[in-house]
Each structure stands twice: as structure tokens, then as C-alpha cells.
Structure 1
Amino acid sequence: MWFSKPTKEALKELNVDPSQGLSSAEAKSRLEKYGPNKLKGKPKKSLLSLFMSQLKDMLIYVLLGAAVITIFIKEYADAIIILLVVILNAVIGVIQESKAEKAVEALQKMTTPKSLVRRDGEVKEINSEEVVPGDIIILDAGRFIPADIRLIESANLQIEESALTGESVPSSKDSLILLEDPKTPIGDKANMAFMSTLVTYGRGEGVVTATAMDTEIGKIAKILDEDNDELTPLQRRLEELGKTLGYLAIGICVLIFVIALIQKRDLFEMFLTAISLAVAAIPEGLAAIVAIVLALGVTRMSKINAIVKKLPAVETLGSVNIICSDKTGTLTQNKMTVVKTYTLNNLRDIPAGKDTLTPSSDEKELIRSFVLCSDATYENGAGTGDPTEIALVVMGERFNLTRNFLNNAHKRVGEKPFDSDRKLMSTLNEENGTYRVHTKGAIDNLLRISTTILQDGKVVPLTDEIRKRILKVTEEMSDSALRVLGVAYKDSESVIDAKEMEKELTIVGIVGMIDPPRLEVKDSIQEAKAAGITPIMITGDHKNTAVAIAKELGIADSISQSLTGAEIDEMSDEEFSEKINHYRVFARVSPEHKVKIVRAFKAHGNIVSMTGDGVNDAPSLKYADIGVAMGITGTDVAKGASDMILTDDNFSTIVNAIEEGRNIYNNIKKSVIFLLSCNLGEVISILFSILFFWPVPLAATQLLWINLITDSLPAIALGIDPGDKDVMKLKPRDPKQSFFAEGSGARAVIGGFLIGLLTLTAFFFGMYEHGFNIFTNLAKEVTKSSDYNTALIYARTMAFVVLAASQLFYSLSMRSHDKSIFKIGLFKNKFLIASIIIGLLLQEVVISVPFLADAFGVHNISLKDWGLVILFSLVPLTVNELIKFFVSLTKRPTAA
């Protein structure tokens, strides 16, 4: 507990002389002992481990099993095709994960910050990674703190610690303070400075007490190493589907053998049939298609400034119904801004923007005093120094009273620095041979040392009634969560000693300032709420400030919807979890509280997203269903803990990402239901043929061709279907909802039965056209004739083409489960139209090119037969569209 030790004791324990610092040799020795001053990350996965992780899926296991069986029965072509599908799926997954990791690395790659250290009696600038415990660090405005430091000197030192504490206002530091309470929170450790925070004002020196993983940031980083990877809703759905299909395939094979034994069929022939049925039951391209759809979704997400680190995170966004957001820098601009000014009897709102404003005579004096009594700078849209003073200088720019102009016209000749006891700062400026003191600070302190007040350009006595009036305005500003600052002045014919500066002053007025919300956030929050998503603010800032911002943004309605970290501690876990849904704002919270909040929301079955940028956000980013880090202001620790990174730090981007996530899930669902409908049709055509004691209408090779080529093209096209513009008018999808909810399962069954029955109809027609009625039990000698074999090839060709074409046309109806293809636009998905055309052309190629026709056991068909094929193939599409039409009629409101 370095904060409880006097500086001499700390220096003695670290064995360093502050005037000399460490010697180069000692620094080298300590660097070897403690290691580089950088946070450790998890070791990268090798390409082999990434590849193997892609194979951990039930569908893949079943496919591998089918490949082994096909090799055993010497169907090598089928085995090769199946193995190619498995490898292709794994390679796509590896490439996409590697791309995402590289994008994140590029985002995180920054120049190593430098640090000023005293070594060998000299001040040197070194890479922060070389800093070791015991180093004497020199601090000045604008420098990042390279490690945890016990301050040994400080002068007006202020450090911006929002990345660690969540507070937007810099913390004042004092090396002379001693803190005895071992539970002192980080934000109150005034004699310490912490790694990755920023000096905004003043100067100081300190001795390094901890580096790398031993720092406060390092302790938080260790939490992130805990494995807490949970399956996303999509992964759970696909895992359940894979298991179901796997068991179905096994069950089908058993069923076939039972039927074969009952019907006394040839067992080897039925074994081949069982393989065909297993191939028909499993959509071989499903895993690869889902990976491709997600990869394309990731590419689209990157175009809207969202980098997704893991593919399933895209879909998870579509299920989100709670967004827990950090306030500072995420919902707000992370810069103080003056929003109100008050001179006697004149309260004025300062509008947002950059328009030049015109001050009254009293306002001109108010702004002039504030600017002259500030050390901050502001040029070309960027400021340096204390954020409060930057806000005052920016206010001067708005009123055309610039810092450079005023400082040149009124040269500073003396000052009395700010200290926490007086809560005041004063400067002495020369003005045309006379002198004026400008004092700014806490208004109640100013009122105690002032005797007069400026009113309409005249100095009048400061009465008790006027004091009450000013304090009332101050209270109203404070109640609106504004930070209030007052200013006063005093004229003199000669130079005034610092001791006499702050006596008998003339009050000019006060200003109210706040860290304002981002301009675009309010609309995004309204859009999120309309989509059934509840925004939650979690911040380390004060309760009143947080609630004021939350009210303005539409997150909360009243202060009763807020809770502080201290109040959370007073509640049991059960009580807190029970009441969690009542609150919208959580203020003055620690990293542990944030995790507790996320877990409480998740306990109610919510899918929780956490957005943030600071180190203090990292644990909750890790434990949320999806953590979203800020790419510009976000710390490396936060980015490492997140599932997604916003490259523009814009809260609105997450709402766009949620919309994208919803559409991606819907598209995946379309692809899955389409593939299952197709495969069900294949299963029915083969299973019914066995039950009817017919010849098998489709060979395993033909089924593989349709599953891997014909089906895959429209399935991918459905996966990139244009998004539904009404998707954000719906509530978030229940994460427990099945792929088959909302009538999707029933339609998959109807579509599958129609496809299967039409395939059998085409097969029957082909056999009947050649004089064979397969409803009658054909003698064995008949089935061995050349005429029968010719008829069988023709009938299988008809079945093969009808199966493929009906699936291709059926894909059009799958674009929407409730809207007609004409309502959503028949040609809006050009990729789907192209895939249908290409699919039909490929079928023509297979049956017309001799060596392909021989390989697949088919031959060319006439134009008349093609007409019949098209007629059969349009039936499933037509029936599904009619179902949509009649369902829409039942949903229409009846006339009164």
C-alpha cells in the first residue's frame, strides 16, 4: 500500500536516490528481473490449432463418418467430395479468424509512448517498456503515465484518469497527502499516479512502484485471462441442428436396414441406399455456407466502422436487448463545455455549435476574466491543459475574445496558483498602465471575499439579497448536473502582492458547464428503444451528472431509476438481481460493480451488450454476451476484451451493427430452412421409393451434386439478401427461439414434401413413358433388361432435374416468410436470380456433356421434357406464395 507510506520510506524501500535516479546498470538489472513494462496477452493460436477448432462440430463429425464409410465401400468419388467440403469449411473459418485478428492488431498497433526518467543524475527520454520499479519519472502536461507511481513532488498536478475510474474531470494530485484507509478507492488515491492515465495540468515527479501486470491496469487485465467463452445463440442453434441431423442420419440408416430385412432386399444394395439417404439427410454445404454468410456480414460491418473479432458475434448483436454503455467518451464527448452564463439578473443559455456570439457588457467582462485566469490553450480545434479551462477558452473563442488576443493586450505579471483548500486561482494582468486581478473558482468562496458586484457595467454593493440570488442560480445549475465556476476581479494602480490579491473583489458572474452528450446519440437511443432494446448507462461519474445526461438522452425519466455503487453494495445479490430491471443509470461504480450489473441482467435471460473504452470497462466487456470497445479512445486492454471494435467511437454505429446483426441472422435462417427443405425433399423421395418398393430414383453422386453445387448457390445468395427495412421495428429475437419458430418449420416440411413428391412424380412419369409401371411389382428378369436400364436412366434424369429445378425456384419464396416475392421485389436480389440461372445451366451441362452424363448416370432430355420439368418445379414456389397470401388475409384488420 504505497499510498499509505511517506515518500522517504517509499524511496528507501525501492532503494533509489531521487536526485540521481537509478544507475544504468541497476536499471538493466531490474529490467531483467521484472521484465518489460507491457501487459501480457494470451498466446496466439497456431494455424493448425485454428484449423482443428473448425472441425469441432456435430455436422462435421457426421460428414467425416460418411466419408469413412464411402471409402470402405470403395465409393472414392463421394468420399473425396465430402472431405473437400469439410476442408473448405475449415479453411474459410481459419482465413476469416486470421483476417479479423490482423485487423485488430493493426488497430492496436501504436507507437510506444516515451517517458522522462532520471538516471545517472540526468533526465533521459526512454521507451516506456524500459521503465522499471524504482525509476524516477518526470511528469508534465500531455504525458502518459508509464507505470504505477508514488508521487514524491507535485505542483498543481492534475491527471485525467477516466480510462481507469470513469470520471470525466481530472483528479488533483498531492504528493504530501498520506492515506491510511486500506480500502481507499483508486479515484481517491491523491498521492498516486497510475499506468495509462494522462497528465493534463501542472508537473510532478514520482517513483515507480509497479510495472506491467503488477499495475492496477495489469490486475484488471488478469481478469480477462479467465476463460468465459459461452456459445452464442447462433452457435447453440447450429449445434442443436447438427446433433439432430446427425441422429436423423443414423436413424435413417437403421430404418433402411430394418425395411431391407422385412422386404428381403439385397443388403449390399440397401447399404448403398442407406449411404444415399444419409447424404440426403445432411446438408453438406451448411457449415461452409453459414461461415461464408458470416464472413460477408463481417465485411459489410467493417464498412459501417465495426470490426468484428469473432464471426458469431455478428449474429449475437441481432439478439441484444440490453445495451450497457459507459458514459464518458461513449455517450458524451469527453470534453467540458460551457452551456450557461450568469451575470446579475441575466441568465443565458449558450447554444451548441461554433457560431460567433455577441456578449453584453457584463458578459464581456465575465469572459475576459475567465480567459485571462486560465492556462489552457486552444488552437485549430485542439486544446491542451485542464478540460475546465479549455472550456473557458473555447467560450472566449465563441464570443470573439480569443486567448491570444487577450493575453497580448493584458500581459500577466503575477499569479496565485489554485489549491484545493482555497478552491481559487488568481492572476494579475497589466492593463494600460493599471493592474487587474482576475480570480476564478468556487462561487461560495468568492462570495465570502467579495464586497461588490458588476451590474450593467457599474459596480454596486454586494448585498445579502444579491448573494442569495446568486446562490439560488448556482443551486439550480448544480441540480441540472452542471459544474459551476465563478469569477471576480479587482483593479489596482500598482502591482499587488499575491497575499493581497484575493480580498475585496468585485463579482462578475458564474458559468455552468458539462460534458455534453454526443450529438447523434439521442436519435440512436430512440431507434434502439423502438427496436425493443433497453439502453443502460454505467459510469464512474457522480449520480446527478449521470442522471442529467441520461434524461437528456432519453435513457432515464427520473433519479429514482438510478443507483450508486455504494447502494449496490448494501443490497444482497438476490435483491439486486430482483430489482435490476427497474434501473437505467448506475453511477460511481467500480469494475466489479459493472460485472455484477451485466451478470444480473443476464440472469433474467437478457442478451447483454457492453460498450466502453476504458480499462475499467474491460472485465464487463469480457463477461457481456458481446463486448463493444471504442477503436480511437479505447485502451488496448478494452479492445482485447471485446468481441467487436467501433473504429469511429460512435455509439450510433452499434445500433447500425444491431440492425446488420438482425438481418444477418434472418438471412442465415433463410439459408438453413431452404437447405433443410431441399434435403427433406431428397429424403422423402428416397424413403418413399423404398416403402413403395420402387427403384431408388437418385444415386448418391447425384444427391451430392445437388447438395454441394445446385443448392449452395441460392443458399449463399439468400445469405446476402438485402436487409428488411422493417427489421428495427420488431422486438429482439428471443435467444431461445428455434430456427423453426414463426411457422418456418411447417413451411420447411410442406416445401420438402412437395419437392420430394414431385421428384417421385417425375421419376414415375419417366418410367411410365417407357412402358414400365413401377406401382406393379416388376419381375427380376424385367429389371435386368436393357429397355429397363434405359428407362431407369431416363427416369432418374427427370427426377434429378426436377429435384434441382424445384429447389432453385423454391429459393425465391424463401426471401421472406410473410411477404410476397412481388412485394419485396422479384429481381431485388440479383445474386439469387443469377444463381437460379447458373443452377439450371449447370443441370443442362451435366445431362448433355457425354462424360459428365456417364459419370452421373443421366442423359439429355428433350425440350418437351424441359417444359414438364419447369411445370413440376414451379409447384412448391406457387404453393408457398399462396400460403403467404392466405395468411396475410387472416392478419388484415376487418372493417368496422
Structure 2
Amino acid sequence: MWFSKKSEDIIVELSTNPVEGLSSSEVERRKAQYGLNKLEGKKGKTLIQLFFAQLNDILIYVLIAAALISGFLGEISDAIIIGIVILINAIVGIVQESKAEKALDALKQLSTPKTIVKRDGQLVEIPSEEVVPGDIIVIDAGRYIPCDIRLFETANLKVEESALTGESVPVDKDAEMVLDAPDTALGDQKNMAFSSTLATYGRGVGIAVATGMNTEIGKIAKMLNEDEDSKTPLQIKLAELGKTLSIGAIIICAVMFLVGFLQKRNLLDMFMSSISLAVAAIPEGLPAIVTIVLAMGVQRMIKQNAIIRKLPAVETLGSVNIICSDKTGTLTQNKMTVTKFYCNKELKTIDDLNIENSSEKLLIENLVLCNDATFSETSRTGDPTEIALVEAGIKFNLFKDELEASHKRVNEIPFDSDRKLMSTVNTYDNKFIVMTKGALDNMLTICTKIYENGQVIPLTQEMKNTILDESYKMSDDALRVLGAAFKETPNTNVEISTLENDLIFIGMIGMIDPPRLEVKDSISLCKNSGIKTIMITGDHKNTAFAIAKELEIAEDISQVMSGQELDKLNDEELSEKVKHLRVFARVSPEHKVKIVKAFKSHGNIVSMTGDGVNDAPSLKAADIGVAMGITGTDVAKGASDMILTDDNFSTIVSAIKEGRNIFNNIKKSVIFLLSCNLGEIIALFFAILLGWATPLKPIHILWVNLITDTLPALSLGVDPGDPDIMKNKPRSPKDSIFKNSVGSLIFNGLLIGLLTLAAFIVGIKIHTGSTSLFPLYPSNLTEDALIYARTMAFIVLSVSQLIHSLNMRSEDKSIFSLGLFTNKFLIGSIVLGILIQDLIITIPFLANIFNVINLTGTDWLVVTVLSLIPLIANEIIKIFKRMSNSKKEIA
């Protein structure tokens, strides 16, 4: 019952120091004692469970049945090889699934909320999992509470506790309260803050009293059995495709079996061929391949400073055609510097500020005291704007810690994105002074007087107009303008609502946050890719346009709309105007939702950036919500699909590029697998339909299918990105994965199937010396002739598929221009596949199992020529494609 104890007693009980926090050595000791601050999740599957999960498939059941029947009928080699295929498929599936799980676990670790704690006398930001009992926790608006905390200092702190109590209205917290009733409900424990709840307003400091499973949320184990469905739309579509293929395979197999029965073929052979064809028709490894390609792609994105929180975002990224981006820190360097100030009717550079002048000194004191940033030689924490103000004070030996020591803060109203103001109440000798800073236009509406050269005089409308004119000059120079005001208040018990009225205007400062050097190139790249960049900022309209023009986002002031103008439009009017807009200035987070909806109303796929608590609705409304990893609140991160660890616009563009490449690589794998499987169906189906001897035994098909379902497909999944991918327009999310590829799929499937049949025919001709087609019928063939011909068909089927994987790297670029060795994994897969095939026919033990024989040099020449035809044919087709594309570009 921590709520019933005084904070002083808890400090003693937990052996902590509210000023210094815990020492590093003590933290390590407590970690060992209490463990990590996290809830226990679901236990992972054991190796045995994973293995049986891989076998839980209708086609695997059919294969097992086929193996048992083969063994029962004395076909031991067939039974063994089917068993090996099942086993290898299961092992590959386990490896792929475990890799995908590890990749997803790594993502969860990277997106763990951060917490500010006091340790070794310093404020440090750590992953919330590392919090231990006794830690001194600093809470500000927008952060999740990392553990159960007994508060000992609060300033207008409100916490939303719906995750625990179900009550959505934020609760006011009061550190001074001590509750005696032992049965006080959680919702009434106002001196406590609980794990997984959310600070929505104000700030506070407290002691961690319970972590992990010992917290209130841990006791009810609310999150223990959450099982998130991480399947992407693509995976769902491919699962549906698998069902369609299954039905088609069953129909084909039934027709094959019926034809074979009418032709009075061996029913066991027909049964085995039908089953192997069913398995060949469906790429069982496809879901696992898609998952691992997505997971590996996401890992690559992490290295480029983009954390993907939800796998569907990877697909959506490739379709983004609108990027709505905050200016500060994303398009700019987030290194604000005060360059100018206006005071005593004069606009000067900051270097000309006279600290001996009472008005100018009060201006700087106001900006340093009305400020939540912390600044030391070793660390700087807080909003970049506030850090810049503290740095401006240091220029004139006005150090924040010294000022706060002599002018103690006794009350405050935190910054609010609607008010665009912040106020503190500080002691000045025996007086209390309200210090307010914020947006100039909002401030002038609440100021009635002005402080000039030590005198307080009425603030006339003419003076306001002059001040605004001077602010426009600063804005035209791309400076962000902040106003400062003050007033004296009789005591600290004044109503909060009255602190920000009847203020005395002191002056204003202008600061600049220069554009990031690389952003201009990224915006140009977006423009060439059919992606529009929209800048959103709280800055003045002129300031916003100055930056937008420099970055080539906007060309004319007519492309800029302010928040006030936006408020005057209904949804339909904004939807019409938004087509021509590129910049939104002086907007609040609430406006962002309207902006997103307006762009989406035209069928656009919209990405939106955000970092604040109030940005969460717009991040959810966007197709891709992008949170800032450095300045972003936990709420924004929780609502996002992607987190930027460097808060850089260029990272969004890199993520879009990577998203496009990931989708392309998955498409390559899918089309490759299906074209290969189609080739196997055609080879068997045509031969049986024509009454010929079957060109392949069931174990041949199963083995070839195993090879093409794993290494080559996976290697295509990690193919190096197409350097020209950003020259293409964004992909429509409605487009099928087979768009522009159906013809290639059918052509290559037919080609591989016919080449396999051609190898079978050539093998028969070489062995029998006959020129007639009739020896292809079973009754006219000896067992030796069949083994010889099937060996050639087996090799051509497998090698032609492996060679065909090279064609899949690009739809129109030659493999020779791409570079044969730019995907070393694919080359390794091809070489390994050919080597395995060679070992199968040359090692007597394996040759007996597969019922094949060693080939002569002449045979290998024939097989090589036939296997290379898919590569040659596709290279010729690509030449015509490139000629066609060149003509279109010229036209």
C-alpha cells in the first residue's frame, strides 16, 4: 500500500536518493534481484511443437499417406525419398520461422518505450525495461508510465489510466496527498502513477515502487496472452492463392489419374505421379519465404534508421505518393539558434543585446526561466527550441541553474499545442512573476501593456501592428519568432486560468533551424518518383514559405495555407483546394487529421509524420504513420507504423525505396516459384495426356520442387535493390502482384515444361536410335531407355529452373548489365543446386534411389544447351522490351 505512505518514508524504505538517483552499481544489483521491468509474454514454441506445426498441412498429410502406401507396396526407395523431402521441408520451415521470429523480437526491443531516470546524479533516458525499484522517474506529457510509481513532485500532472481502470478521463495527480484508507480504489490513488498508463499533461517526479509482474497491470496480466496477427495483406492474398492452386491441383490430378486409368497405366505409378504433381503445383514454402523476406528487409531498414512496427507497412510504403512531413527536425537540422531579437522598438542581432538594459535582460531571463530544457557540459535534454533559448542565455552569463536557484519556479502551465504558450511563476525577491513565452499572434491577444526601457506603458493597436510588421520581416528571413511577456501576481494561489491574461509584452526573438543538407536531394528524388512532399509546420506562413521555397517544395505563396484559413473550410472545400497546396503553416495537430483525410479523398496513399500526444489521431488516420524516434512521445510511437531513429525526412524516402524493393523481391520469388511449378505440371500433364511414358518419377518432381522452393527463391528475396526503383511511379495497392507478369509466368512455365519434354524425347532418341514418336509410348520402351530419358528430363527440369532464376532479377534489364555476381547468394544457390544434381546421378547409392544413371559428355552438352534456353529466350525478349521502352520515352 504505497499510496498510504509518505514519500519520505518510501525513499528510506527503498534506499534511494531523490536528488542523485541510484548509482550504476546499485542498479545492476537490483536488476539481478528484481529482473527486467516487463510482463511475461507467451512462452515460445518448443522445437518439437515447431516441427509438428510444419507438418500441419493437408498436402503434407497426402505425402505421408503416399510414403506409407509406397512402403507397403514395396517401393522402399520412394517411401524414403518422400520422407526425406518431408523432413527437409519441415527443417527449412523451422529455420525460416525462427529467423522471422527473431527478427520480429528484435523489432519489439527497438520499439520499447523510453524512460527518463536520475542515475549517478544525471538525467538519462533508458529503455523502460531497465527500470528497477528505487529509480527516480521523471514524467512528462506524452510518456507511458514504465512501472508503478509513488509520486513526490507534481505540476498539473494528468494521467490517462484506461489501460488499467477503464476510465478514459485523465486523472489529476497530487504528490502531496497521503491516503489512509487501505481499500482505496486504484482510480482514487492520486499520489500514484501506474505501469502502462499515459501522462497526458503536466509533469511529475516519483519513485519506482514496483516493476514487471509486480505492478498492478502485471497482477491482472492484461497483456500476457496477446497474440498479434502480423500477417500482411500480401501474405493473406498469397494464402488465398494457395487455396486456389490447391483446388486447381486437385482437379488436374483427378483428370491425370482418370486419363491414366483409361490408358490402363500402372495405378500405383499414376497415384504417386498425381500426388507429386499436386505438391509440385503448390509452393508450400511460399508463406515462409514471404515472412522471412519481409523480416530481413525490415532488418535492413533498421540499419537505415527506420523501425517498422507493423509488417503491412512494408507493402504500403511502396504505394506512398504523398509524404506529409513536419518541418522542424525532419526537414531541418533541429539545431535552433537565436539570431535576432526585438525589444524597445528595435530589431537587432542577438550579439548586440545589452544585458545592462532592463528590458533586454528581462527578455532573456524570461526565455531561460520559462523553459523545461536541461543543459550541462555533458548533456542537453529538451525541446530544441528551448535548448536554443538556454544557449542564448549562456552567451550573457545567464545560466539556467543559477537563475532557477535565485528565481524558484512555484507554479506553471505547460506548453499546449492549442494555446501555443507556456507559462511559469517564479519568485523575484518577495514578488511572484508570471513568465510567458510562445507564438506571437497568440501572445499579442492576451497582452495589454508593453515594457519599454524599464517602463510599463499601454500596448496600443498601432504598437501591435508595428510588432507584427517586424515579426514578418524576421519570418521572411525564415526565422521562427517567439514572443515573451510577464506580469506580477500577488501569490501562488491564483487560478491557473487567470495567469495568462493582462500580460505585459517584453519583446520577441527570431531563431532559425536550417534545412538538412541532404533533404533537398531527397525531395527532388520524391518528385521524380511521383511522390509529393507536403510541409506542415507551426511556423508563420512567411517563414514556412521561405523554407519550402529553399527546399523546392513550393514555388508560390499561393501554395501555402495557414491554420486559420483551414478552419474556414469544410471537408469538401479543403478536398478541392488540397490538390494545389504544398505547405500548411500555423497548424495544430488537430488540423493534421483534416489534411490527411483531404489527401486520401483523392485516392492518395499518405504518409504522415508526428511526435506529440495530439499527433496520434493523424498518425492512425494516415496509411503510414511515421513517429520521431528522438523527439517523439511514446503515444506517437505507439500509434505509428514506422519510427525514425534519426528524425530525418531522407530516412522516410529511403524506407519507401526499401519498401518498393522488398515488394519487388517478394514478387520475384512468387513469380519464379509459380513459373517453375507450372513447368512441372506441363511436362507431366502433356506426356500423360498424349499417352506417353511419364518423363519424371514422383521422387524427381518432389526433389526438384524442394530445391526451387528454398535457396533460389530465398536468394531472389534478398536481391540487391534496383537502383532505378525510384524512377517508377508508386504502385497502386489495388494492383495484383501478377500485374505485368502473367505473360512471363505462362511463357516461362511453358518453356520449362516443353524443354523437359524435349530432353525426355532426345534421351529416347539417343538410346533407341529411332526417328519415330511411337517409342515414347510405354509399351515400346525398355526400362533402360526410360531411366536414361528420365535422367535427362530430371536434369533439364532442375537446371533450367535454376538458370531461370537469373531471369527473375529484372523484367527488362539484362543479367549481364546487372552483373552476374551482384547477387552472390543466387549464384551460390545455382551452383549448389547443379552440384547436388550431379552428385545424385554420379554416386551409385543415390542414383539407385532416384532411379537415374550417369550421363556422358555428349549428354551433358545437350542438357546444358536445353537448360540455357530460358536464359537466352528471356534475354532476347528483354532486348525488345528495352527498345519499346525507349520509344515510349522518346514519344
Structure 1 residue identity aligned to 2:109: E
Contact 2:324/2:533 (8 A) holds in 1: yes
1:833 positional shift: 2.7
Cα distance in 1 between the residues matched to 2:678 and 2:717:
20
2:810 pairs with 1:848: no
1:443 positional shift: 7.3
- Aligned to 1:511, the other structure's residue is in SS state strand
Identity of aligned residues (%): 47
- Aligned to 2:338, the other structure's residue is in SS state strand
1:512 positional shift: 2.8
Cα distance in 2 between the residues matched to 1:139 and 1:287:
43
Cα distance in 1 between the residues matched to 2:460 and 2:633:
51
1:859 positional shift: 1.1
Contact 1:237/1:739 (8 A) holds in 2: no
Q: 1:533 to 1:39 in 2, by over 3 A?
A: farther
Map of 1:892 onto structure 2:
886
1:856 positional shift: 0.9
Map of 2:182 onto structure 1:
none
Map of 1:870 onto structure 2:
864
Map of 1:232 onto structure 2:
232
Q: 1:227 to 1:529 in 2, by over 3 A?
A: farther
Q: 1:94 to 1:893 in 2, by over 3 A?
A: same
Map of 2:677 onto structure 1:
679
Map of 1:181 onto structure 2:
none
Cα distance in 2 between the residues matched to 1:69 and 1:529:
57
Q: What is the RMSD of the two structures over their aligned residues, measured on CA atoms?
A: 6.1
1:801 positional shift: 1.5
Matches of residues 553-592 of structure 1 in structure 2 within 5 Å? Answer: 567=567, 585=584, 587-589=587-589
Cα distance in 2 between the residues matched to 1:289 and 1:141:
42
Cα distance in 2 between the residues matched to 1:550 and 1:57:
59
1:618 positional shift: 5.0
Q: 1:801 to 1:233 in 2, by over 3 A?
A: same
Cα distance in 1 between the residues matched to 2:566 and 2:712:
56
Map of 1:701 onto structure 2:
699
1:92 positional shift: 2.0
Which string of whole-angstrom CA distances, capped at 9 and with x for unpartnered residues, describes residues 603-651 of structure 1? 7655454544445555665676555444444455555555444333434
Map of 1:353 onto structure 2:
none
Q: 1:750 to 1:161 in 2, by over 3 A?
A: same
Map of 1:813 onto structure 2:
807
Which string of whole-angstrom CA distances, capped at 9 and with x for unpartnered residues, describes residues 823-858 of structure 1? 222332233333332222222111111111111111
Map of 2:321 onto structure 1:
321
Map of 1:401 onto structure 2:
396
- Aligned to 2:695, the other structure's residue is in SS state coil
- Aligned to 2:509, the other structure's residue is in SS state strand
Q: 1:49 to 1:339 in 2, by over 3 A?
A: farther
Cα distance in 2 between the residues matched to 1:302 and 1:407:
38
Cα distance in 2 between the residues matched to 1:416 and 1:746:
73
Structure 1 residue identity aligned to 2:648: N
Matches of residues 474-623 of structure 1 in structure 2 within 5 Å? Answer: 474=471, 482-485=480-483, 510-513=508-511, 523-535=521-533, 551=548, 567=567, 585=584, 587-589=587-589, 606-618=604-616
Cα distance in 2 between the residues matched to 1:832 and 1:128:
45
Q: 1:624 to 1:859 in 2, by over 3 A?
A: farther
Contact 2:600/2:606 (8 A) holds in 1: yes
Map of 1:739 onto structure 2:
737
1:725 positional shift: 1.0
Map of 1:664 onto structure 2:
662
1:674 positional shift: 1.8
Map of 1:762 onto structure 2:
759
Contact 1:144/1:196 (8 A) holds in 2: yes
Which string of whole-angstrom CA distances, capped at 9 and with x for unpartnered residues, describes residues 527-576 of structure 1? 3344333456778x6996996699466667657656689959x968x998
Which string of whole-angstrom CA distances, capped at 9 and with x for unpartnered residues, describes residues 484-515 of structure 1? 335899xxxxxxxxxxxxxxxx9996313477
Contact 2:529/2:729 (8 A) holds in 1: yes
Q: 1:791 to 1:388 in 2, by over 3 A?
A: closer
Cα distance in 2 between the residues matched to 1:339 and 1:64:
74
Cα distance in 2 between the residues matched to 1:668 and 1:889:
27
TM-score where L is the length of structure 1:
0.69
Contact 2:596/2:606 (8 A) holds in 1: yes
Structure 2 residue identity aligned to 1:836: I
Cα distance in 1 between the residues matched to 2:760 and 2:229:
50
Map of 1:169 onto structure 2:
none
819, 823, 834: which one aligns with 2:817: 823
Cα distance in 2 between the residues matched to 1:727 and 1:803:
32
Map of 2:269 onto structure 1:
269
1:673 positional shift: 1.6
Map of 1:82 onto structure 2:
86
Unpaired segments of 5 or more residues in structure 1?
1-13, 26-35, 116-126, 132-136, 165-172, 176-191, 351-356, 430-436, 455-460, 490-505
Matches of residues 721-736 of structure 1 in structure 2 within 5 Å? Answer: 721-736=719-734
Cα distance in 2 between the residues matched to 1:416 and 1:24:
27
Q: 1:344 to 1:110 in 2, by over 3 A?
A: closer
- Aligned to 2:318, the other structure's residue is in SS state helix
Contact 1:535/1:555 (8 A) holds in 2: yes
Range that drifts further, 478-487 or 304-313: 478-487
Cα distance in 1 between the residues matched to 2:777 and 2:484:
107
Q: 1:873 to 1:560 in 2, by over 3 A?
A: same
1:379 positional shift: 3.1
Cα distance in 2 between the residues matched to 1:381 and 1:279:
63
1:282 positional shift: 2.4
1:234 positional shift: 2.1
Q: 1:333 to 1:142 in 2, by over 3 A?
A: farther
Unpaired segments of 5 or more residues in structure 2?
14-33, 72-77, 120-129, 163-171, 175-191, 414-420, 438-442, 488-503
Cα distance in 2 between the residues matched to 1:624 and 1:141:
23
Cα distance in 2 between the residues matched to 1:693 and 1:613:
69
Contact 1:426/1:438 (8 A) holds in 2: yes
Contact 2:530/2:730 (8 A) holds in 1: yes
Structure 2 residue identity aligned to 1:401: F
Map of 2:341 onto structure 1:
341
Map of 2:301 onto structure 1:
301
Map of 1:31 onto structure 2:
none
1:267 positional shift: 3.2
1:881 positional shift: 0.9
Contact 1:762/1:795 (8 A) holds in 2: yes
Structure 2 residue identity aligned to 1:892: S
Contact 2:687/2:694 (8 A) holds in 1: yes
1:749 positional shift: 1.5
1:755 positional shift: 1.6
Cα distance in 2 between the residues matched to 1:801 and 1:384:
65
Q: 1:487 to 1:412 in 2, by over 3 A?
A: farther
1:769 positional shift: 1.3
Structure 1 residue identity aligned to 2:297: G
Map of 2:826 onto structure 1:
832
Contact 1:751/1:876 (8 A) holds in 2: yes
Contact 2:41/2:223 (8 A) holds in 1: no
1:712 positional shift: 3.5
Structure 2 residue identity aligned to 1:473: E
Cα distance in 2 between the residues matched to 1:254 and 1:411:
85
Contact 2:752/2:800 (8 A) holds in 1: yes
Contact 2:341/2:347 (8 A) holds in 1: yes
1:713 positional shift: 3.0
Cα distance in 2 between the residues matched to 1:883 and 1:153:
73
Cα distance in 1 between the residues matched to 2:404 and 2:629:
42
Which string of whole-angstrom CA distances, capped at 9 and with x for unpartnered residues, describes residues 690-746 of structure 1? 12211111112112222222563332222222211111121221222223212x221
Cα distance in 2 between the residues matched to 1:138 and 1:886:
65
1:799 positional shift: 1.1
Q: 1:159 to 1:363 in 2, by over 3 A?
A: farther
Contact 2:339/2:511 (8 A) holds in 1: yes
Structure 2 residue identity aligned to 1:688: F
Q: 1:417 to 1:485 in 2, by over 3 A?
A: farther
Cα distance in 2 between the residues matched to 1:54 and 1:630:
42
2:373 pairs with 1:379: no
1:663 positional shift: 0.9
TM-score where L is the length of structure 2:
0.69
